[in-house]
Structure formats: structure tokens, C-alpha cells
Amino acid sequence: MANLLKKVEKFDMDRRAFVALSASLGATAALGLTGCDNVLAKTTKDSPTVETLSGGKWVTVACPQDGCNKSCLNQAYVVDGVVVRQRTDELVEDSPDNPQYRSCIKGRSIRKTVTSAERLKYPMKRKNWQPGGGANVNGHLRGIDDWERITWDEAIKYIADEYKRIMDTYGPRAFLATGQDERKMCGGKIGSGILNMLGGCLTTFGEQSDGGAPVPSNLMWGFYDSGDTNGLDKMGQRHTKLQVLWGFNSGWCDGAANQYDLLTAKKQAGTKVILIDVWFNPTAQSYVDQWIPIRPSTDGALMEAVAYELITNNLVDQDFLDRCTVGFDAEHMPADAKTNENFKDYILGAYDGKPKTPEWASPITGVPVATIKQLAQDMGTTKPMSLKAARGLTRQWYGNRVTQLFYTLGWMTGSLGVPGSDTAILTGTWGTKNGQPLVKRGKNSWKYPKNPACSEPRASDETTFGGFDASREYGIAFSEWHKAVVEGEYTLPNPRNEKRSCDIKCIMCENARNASNAQSGNYLTVEAYRKVEFVVHQEMFMKIGPMYSDIVLPVKCHPELEFALRNKQTNESLIMGTNAFPQFYETKDDIEIYFMLCDELGFGEDIAPRTSIKQNMFEQLGNATVIKENGEEYETLFTITQEDIDKYQVKFEPQEGRTSFAEFMETGIYRLERSPNDNYMNVPLKDFVADPEANPLETTSGKLEIYCQALADWYDLCQLHDIDPIPKYKAAVHGYEDKKNYPDYKFQLVTPHHLRQMHSVWANERSLNEVFPNDLLISTFDAEREGFKHGDWALVTGLDAGQIVRRIAVLPIIAPGVAILGEGNWRNVDQETGIDIGGNANTLTRPHLLGNGYQAYNTVLLKLEPYTGPTMLPDYQRPLYVPIAD
């Protein structure tokens, strides 16, 4: 009876709460339903059934994350403006050749994310911040201050006035725009447009995702497109007899969208799959035959030993090397070489007296000599071979050198040019024919003014592509910006490697990119944000950046936009999401905010054309093309009628195309059918390998450059890091060989993407937190020695970096000495201790500056101590952060 009473009481309470909430929202009662998912769940006794799924319709929604390189199909069932259920691709039959685009756990959680109680609802101002600079800023209260709800008009005026004041007083170099180069949660690339119009700002340069790969790739191959050109596609993969995966975990990358294709290819071709990684990762669990455990940042040593075995056992594809490469041996040196060193003699020990034998590499890498020999035997004798590395491999201290060695290994085995062979460091899992998507979205007319004070973000890709102009202002390296704000100077990539002073007064972050969770050296966040006069963030949630801001603007994400187009690396489809969710409180999309600021500051259509998201997306669809059956030419994808144009009220001309636009809009997806015998298969560098002289690459020699003088010259110019013209392994700073210098730091940290979150997006989704903890993973071997048990909490210190508290998971599938923490947890600084109780991986990484500004996320030494502070809650029970309750 007591139970029953409690039940009634509970139900009644929930009902009252629900009614009160709905009433407070007045006319937008439907909003209450979505905004209050938990209450609904509590009042619903039985599970919803098919019967309850009536009266609505399935709507295709865009995945909110641009950072993922796939695009899966997500649909939402909408009844009276309320999303009551989700599903993934049920529109076509599922088959190995044309599998359904089934989404990952994140995609399936879109409705939870969009309707989360933690969403920012209103523009807010920090209570003790006043405009005008000086003492009224009260910067020391950032992160602990109260919030005031303000109107959009007030927020826009505050921002516009502060921008003008700071620009007039200090000039453009007082601004740091940290978030403008990506489109994480919104519909368009608008850049730091407003600041550019006012006079410019400092931006950030360098690499996040691609690590040390781009510069060596661009100069050794003549291109870098994250595997689009030199990677196999899913049909080509079915010809592979041996897959060698290096630090590759497709099951956790890009929402696992291609793991099924890889598995299918393995089963169809009877492929053997070998993984070299610091853990027996989920991908390995799914389909790998042999795991070779290795220590972090020692991959180069293993590669050199495999090269030694290939050379000394006569397993090298000499014909390929002679025809297609330069610098392998003394007989094939490039004309521009400034040294006499070649790779073969280096490996055999001709220059340093140390042959790079398995016996030499084994103690460094931890890999047994016999295993190294067997790996070389497999790689040298099984053809066609597919050699794949994830970009995470190159996010180590010597990501540049490991890139050189990795490619060289692929070329020594002739792993290019025939179906089933590739040598690629990949973004996703696949390349595509000629490196081009089979379905291409079209151009749009969106523009924004260029930055007069600094290069565009990421150095406009100049440095990435091996260019460099010492007279240009590239801004502050990603990894250094927190430090630069605090210390008032930053490092220039130039021959003198000098510092330049900066006095940042305003930090602005658009597009919910939240640079402070994703970049190394973020243990300086608090000091950096508290130092300046004005911080503004556009965000969906109260992450670390907005938490230390003065004005916070609540933004929408893709599934809330009228149109949101996705295609990315699936390359065989276009997916168009439409808005399935009602207006969520006072949120606005980034473009609308941009236009409001333009209006406030008096910038007209001539400078900032007010092209709507709808018009922009329509242009991208109207201009979309699809590959013809011959596999060479492209044709217009959509037939667009005047009726379509009128319906969507956009500017466009009617046109003929392959398929009906109206039909596309009904399902929200166009997919190109594939078959094993179609003309779309990618055989990487087929023409070049067949006749290198007739089809030269865009390298200095026209060939693949094992000896690459241009690369050595570029590094001489930039001076941020060291490299040699031929691939050479070097022990990393804070790598395994360095560990002996820091006896308390017994672990090497690796920070992969975790499947439950995409960077910091979804990291607060509590159902995902519940079923998929992101604990610090360590080996059973170390746990026994160090006295840690599964489920213990540890105080974790990164060498020369910050501290976090994190729960430990003890697993036998982690190599000894290795610690793994998925990146993206929200940094949350305890005000008393300065410790990050949110467990963000980049609190543990350092603000170093390497290569073209890449970051060594995976070369970190770690100290673990038992945690003795106040009781910690697992992520799924973390208190909800709702700054202004409604």
C-alpha cells in the first residue's frame, strides 16, 4: 500500500510539474513537451507502441555534427511538433553492396541532445561584467559569477558596442577568434565575418585532426586529401588479401559507419587483418585476426625494423621502387638532394653504424623480435596489401617522421596501383575514384569579408600544403592560444622562430566549436579567460568556454534548421535534413546572429549579403552533380522545376537532371547504387603506377619521394620542429624513451575519439554516459603493480600540464604502460583545487608547437595517484548545469 501511495504521489507531482511548465510557456505548449522529455517518460507507464506512433510522420533530420566524416540517415517521428521516436535507415533493403546508412549511438540520441534540459535557452550576461573595460569587467569572477537573462537586442548591442570599443582602443590584434574556422553545429561558414568587417582579428593556425601528416604528404606525394585519393573504396577493399592497420579504430571513428563495409570486404576476400595499436581496440574485437601491441610513439622504430627485414630478406618490390620513387637507394636519388643519404643504407646502418634490426626495435616498441619478422614476412609476401593508418597515428610528437616512414613502408611493398592495394592515412575509411566524391554537393553564394589583419584560420591551408610566407601573419597556433593569452606572446613559424607579443582583450567563439575542450594545453583556460576584457560564446550548452564568458548566445544545431545538407565522406549520397523540432526557447542559428550583428553595426547587403540558409542549401543541391555510369564524367543531379523553386521561395533557374528534386525532398536522401562491377572503384594512383613518366605527380621529382628535399627545406624555413629528408625514427620528447627521466610518470597517454561523443558534442548526453562510460583505461598488468582496482578513482597528472580526476577501468586488452582516455569530456575546473573534475583529456596535454602547428595529443606522460578527495559521481549522475531555470 505504501508503494501504491508513493506511486500516486509521484505521478501527481510529475503531472503538476508538467502542467506548470507547459503553462509557463504560454502559447508554445508543444515546446514544453520536447523540453521536458524526462517528465514525459515518468508519466508514461507503458512503452509507446505502434498505436502511439500514429498521426505523425517520419522526417529526415541532419546529424548535428560536422566533425564526423560520415553522414548516416537519421529520421525522427514527429507528432504535432514533438519528436517521439527516432529511427535510422529503413528506406531501402539492407545489402552488403548497398547497406543501409545506419547511424551510431550519437545519431540515435539526437532528440535527447536537442531537447536536453541543459540546453542554453536565452541570451545571458554575466552579472558582474559591465562593458567598457577596466575594473567593471570583474574578470576574476568568470566561471563563478551568476547569470542574468537578457534580450537578444540587448545581447547584440553589448557585443557590437564592445567590438567597436575594443577595435577603436586597441586595434584588430586585440581580438582572438577561436571558433570561426569550422561549422560544427550550424549551417554555414561565416568566418569571423563581423570582426573582419570592423578591421580584422587574430585567428588560429595549425592542425588538429590531421596531425603531422599533411606537410610530408603534400611534399612526398604531391597531395594530401586525408586518403580520398590514395585510399581504397569499399569495392576495391574486397580485392585485398592482407589489411595492415596502424593505430586504426574505425569502429570508434566516424560513428562506425564503415566498420560493416570493412567486415564485409574481409569476409568476401578472405582477408587476413593485422592491427598494430596500443590496445586491442573495438575494431580489433570486430574483425582483426592478429593484434600486435606496441608502445605509444614508438611506431617509427617498428616501421624501420620491418623495412630492415623487407630489405634483408629480399621482400622489397624493387621494380615499383625503381619506377615510382626516389631516394630509396643510392641509384635513385632525386636531382635536388642536398645530402647523399638514402633510405636503404640508413636502415642498414651505413650512416650511424646501427642497423635498424628487429633486435634493435624490440626493446623500444615492446614487440617481440619474432613478431616483427613475421609482420615483415606477411607484408612482403601477401598481395594485394592494404596499409591503413588513422590520423591519430600522426598526432604524436614526431607525427611528421612517422608519416614519412609509414608511406615508405607502403611503397617498399608496392602497395599501390592495383585493385585491393592502398597506402593511406585516412580521415574516414575510404578513398573515392580520382579522390572525388561520387555525389558532389554544389557551390553556394555565401561569402564573408576577408580578414585584413591576419590569414584566414588554419593559415588558409597555406602551411598545410607546404607553402610558407614568413612575412604573413598566420595568427596563434591552436595549441598555444591559451598560453599566448596568458603570457602575452606567441611563437611565429619563421626562420628565426621568434616570439611576437599580443595583448588579447577579446576572445570570441562562434559556431559552438568550443576550442577549449579540443586543444592541447587547455589547463590554462581559466587564467586565459579571466585575463581579458570581453569573452563571447555562441553555444548550445554550458561548456568550459561559455562558462567563462560575459555574453552567451544560445544557438541551434542542424536538426533544428529549416534545411541542413550532409554528404561528407560517404561520398555516395546526399542527405537533406529538415527541421523536425519546434523553436527551442529563444535559440537562433549562427547565420541569424551574424545578420543581426551586421544590422546593428550598419553593414549592408553589399558587404554581407543576407543569403538565407534555405537559399544557400538550395544552391548546393541545385548545383550538385553525380558521376555518370562511365565512371569519369559528372552530370547534374537534380531536375528542378519552377514549382520547386516557388515552393521553397528561392532564387534558382529550372534545370534538367538525373533525378527529381521533389522526390528527393520527400525522403531526404539520394544514394548512388553500387555494385562490385561498377566503374566507380578506386584503384589508388593506377595511372601513375602504370606509367610514372607519362603521369607525373606534383612533387619536385614527379615521383613518390622517399628522399624529399622539399620537406627538409620547409622544416628549415618554419623551424618549429625537426625532420630529415629521408625517413628516420627519433625518440619523442615525453615518449617511451624519455620516461626513464620522469620516474613518477609511469604511463603513456593516448587520447582517441570515443564512440559515445564527437569531440565535446554529446559528452553530456546522459543515456550515452550511462551505457558507455569514458573511463581512463589501463592494463591489468599495471593495475596489479600500482595497486589500482577496476572502478577506483585516480588523480591523474599530465607531465608539465594539468590534473584531472577520473575513474579507472582495468582491462587486459591494454598494452602495459599505456593509459587511454577518450577526448571530449567537458573540462570542469574545481575552483578550490584547480583540478579538472570533468576529466578532459586535453587538461593533460601540453601547449607545444610542432611541424605546421600540429599537436601531440598522443605523446603524453602520465602520473596516476589514488584519488582521496570528495566522492565523485560517474558522468551519468553528474549534476545538470542549468544556469537560468525556467
Q: Which of residues 814-853 bind another protein (CB under 8 A)?
A: 815-816
Q: Find the shortest distance in angstroms from Cβ 875 to another protein.
A: 9
Q: Find the shortest distance in angstroms from Cβ 248 to another protein.
A: 13
Q: Among 576, 542, 578, which residue's Cα sits nearest to residue 560?
A: 578
Q: Are strands 551-554 and 638-639 parallel, antiparallel or unpaired?
A: unpaired
**Within positions 787 to 816, which residues make up the interface with another protein, using CB under 8 A?**
790-791, 807, 809-813, 815-816
DSSP class of 864: E
Q: Among 492, 788, 439, 847, which residue's Cα sits nearest to residue 623?
A: 439
User: What span, in angstroms and rounded, lies between the C-alpha atoms of 320 and 331?
Assistant: 14
92 binds another protein (CB under 8 A): no
Q: Find the shortest distance in angstroms from Cβ 293 to another protein.
A: 6
374 binds another protein (CB under 8 A): no
User: What span, in angstroms and rounded, lies between the C-alpha atoms of 863 and 881?
Assistant: 30
12 binds another protein (CB under 8 A): no
Q: Which is nearer to another protein, 367 or 439 (CB)?
A: 367
**Within positions 47 to 66, which residues make up the interface with another protein, using CB under 8 A?**
47-51
3-state SS, residue 83 = strand
Q: Find the shortest distance in angstroms from Cβ 262 to another protein.
A: 10
Q: Which is nearer to another protein, 211 or 366 (CB)?
A: 366
Q: Find the shortest distance in angstroms from Cβ 290 to another protein.
A: 10
Q: Find the shortest distance in angstroms from Cβ 601 to another protein.
A: 36
Q: Which is nearer to another protein, 204 or 828 (CB)?
A: 828
3-state SS, residue 509 = strand
40 binds another protein (CB under 8 A): yes
Q: Which is nearer to another protein, 267 or 651 (CB)?
A: 267
351 binds another protein (CB under 8 A): no
Question: Scanning the structure block, which residue is given the C-alpha cell 603513456?
Answer: 748
**Within positions 241 to 300, which residues make up the interface with another protein, using CB under 8 A?**
251, 256-257, 259-260, 263, 280, 282-283, 285-287, 289, 291, 293, 295
The one among 30, 733, 872, 882 contacting another protein by CB under 8 A: 882
Q: Are strands 747-750 and 818-820 parallel, antiparallel or unpaired?
A: parallel
| Residue 590 amino acid letter | D
Instruction: Give the C-alpha distances (Å, rounded to integers) separating 679 from 241, 602, 629, 658, 689.
Output: 21, 53, 7, 18, 19
Give the total of residues touching another protein (CB under 8 A).
86
Q: Find the shortest distance in angstroms from Cβ 554 to another protein.
A: 18
Q: Which is nearer to another protein, 496 or 740 (CB)?
A: 740
Assess contact for 247 and 406: CB atoms under 8 A: no
Grid coordinates standing for 868?
Answer: 582521496
Q: Which is nearer to another protein, 87 or 157 (CB)?
A: 87
DSSP class of 639: E
Instruction: Give the C-alpha distances (Å, rounded to integers) separating 144 from 531, 828, 835, 859.
Output: 15, 12, 15, 33
**Within positions 93 to 112, which residues make up the interface with another protein, using CB under 8 A?**
94, 99, 102-105, 108-109, 111-112
The one among 21, 30, 38, 268 contacting another protein by CB under 8 A: 38
Grid coordinates standing for 722?
Answer: 625537426
Span near another protein by CB under 8 A; candidates 86-94, 194-202, 450-458, 585-593: 86-94
User: What span, in angstroms and rounded, lies between the C-alpha atoms of 486 and 483?
Assistant: 5
Go through the chain and tell me how many residues it has. 886
Q: Find the shortest distance in angstroms from Cβ 353 to another protein.
A: 21
Q: Which is nearer to another protein, 341 or 539 (CB)?
A: 539
Q: Which is nearer to another protein, 73 or 621 (CB)?
A: 73
> HEC profile for 13-33?
HHHHHHHHHHHHCCCCHHHHH
How many C-beta atoms surround the C-beta of residue 580 within 10 A? 26
Q: Which is nearer to another protein, 583 or 780 (CB)?
A: 780
757 binds another protein (CB under 8 A): no
Q: Find the shortest distance in angstroms from Cβ 111 to another protein.
A: 7
**Within positions 631 to 660, which residues make up the interface with another protein, using CB under 8 A?**
none
Q: Which is nearer to another protein, 30 or 811 (CB)?
A: 811
> HEC profile for 122-139?
CCEEECCCCCCCHHHHCH
> HEC profile for 566-579?
ECHHHCCEEEEEEC
Q: Among 749, 745, 754, which residue's Cα sits nearest to residue 875?
A: 754
768 binds another protein (CB under 8 A): yes
862 binds another protein (CB under 8 A): no
Cα 514 from chain centroid (whole Å): 12
* Partners of 671 in beta bridges: 573
Q: Find the shortest distance in angstroms from Cβ 8 to another protein.
A: 10
746 binds another protein (CB under 8 A): no
User: What span, in angstroms and rounded, lies between the C-alpha atoms of 854 and 175?
Assistant: 22
Q: Find the shortest distance in angstroms from Cβ 342 to another protein.
A: 30
